[in-house]
Amino acid sequence: MEQKPGPTVIYDLKGRVALITGAAGAIGAGITRGLLKANCCVAATDLAGERLDALVKEFESDFRGRIAGIPIDVTDPASVSAGIASTVKRFGSLDIAVINAGVAHVSQLKDMEIETFRRLEKINVEGTLLVLKELARHFEKQGTGGDIVIISTKNVFAPGASFGAYSATKAASHQLGRIASLELAPVGVRVNMVAPDAVFSDGVRKSGLWQEIGPDRMKARGLDEKGLEEYYRNRNLLKERITADHVANAVLFFVSRQTPTTGATIPVDGGLPDATPR
């Protein structure tokens, strides 16, 4: 059945400043683009290097003066603190934060190397905690409220075999977001989550997560990359390919404050019966 396209929603976040972690990946780039198109100033943060430099170069011609690349290692408290301070110094404030940095690994529990699990825990859990901690201090000091969005995953609600380390650590990150929504509401800060299914790429930019786990998934199902994308598209109710722009739209809904919502999750998965909370 041919479906009519949905309405185009135009968000205007002029005057607001956003910071996003993990900005150089596929989902991060899509969110960065969405915020810039909504007239936001954006501190695009990631590990220092060519990927972050390329992202800023890609967007600065169209959004000159409204994007800055700021290196942040989310596992380093000093780096997180300095990155937030640099954002405020560059743009004058910080109103929105998107916690997107994360890594994945494929392994059955019986084969799991404890050091590998600890690496995911350090980035996905401790990284989220460190960023939330510094943001809480910032927003309390700034005194103007704010919005935090954590990029979670459908695996929180429907984990898959061989995704134990990823599912468990992302679930912990998700729960930290829910707790932050309770603790930060008194200072006018809303904390929400977006839970997407697999995003393979954003234009020519391949998802770092799927570069790491894609070969294993393709081998397990006897599929090439295109076939794997089709597998994920066909397993959801709407038969939709999930894109970074879809994730960005969910972020924009939350930070545009159209509803009085905090501690909530928007699934961006095309409809997965197994991921329905129960």
Q: Is residue 10 part of a domain?
A: no
CB 11 within 8 A of CB 256: yes
When divided into structural domains, the chain yields a total of 1
- Structural domain for 117, as ranges: 17-270
- Residues whose CB is less than 8 angstroms from the CB of residue 113 and which lie 6 or more positions away in sequence, other chains included: 107
Name the pTM for this structure: 0.94
Q: Is residue 12 part of a domain?
A: no
Q: Is residue 3 part of a domain?
A: no
- Cα 265 from chain centroid (whole Å): 13
Q: Is residue 31 part of a domain?
A: yes
How confident is the model at residue 239, as a pLDDT? 96
Tell me how far apart the alpha carbons of residues 219 and 216 are, in angstroms, rounded to a whole number. 5
Q: Is residue 55 part of a domain?
A: yes
How confident is the model at residue 4, as a pLDDT? 63
Q: Is residue 75 part of a domain?
A: yes
Q: Is residue 223 part of a domain?
A: yes
Task: Give me the average pLDDT of each 10-residue run along the chain (278 residues).
Answer: 64 97 97 98 98 97 97 99 99 99 94 98 99 99 98 95 95 99 99 95 79 78 86 93 96 98 97 80
Q: Is residue 51 part of a domain?
A: yes
CATH number at residue 215: 3.40.50.720
Q: What end-to-end distance do the CA atoms of the chain give, in Å?
A: 30
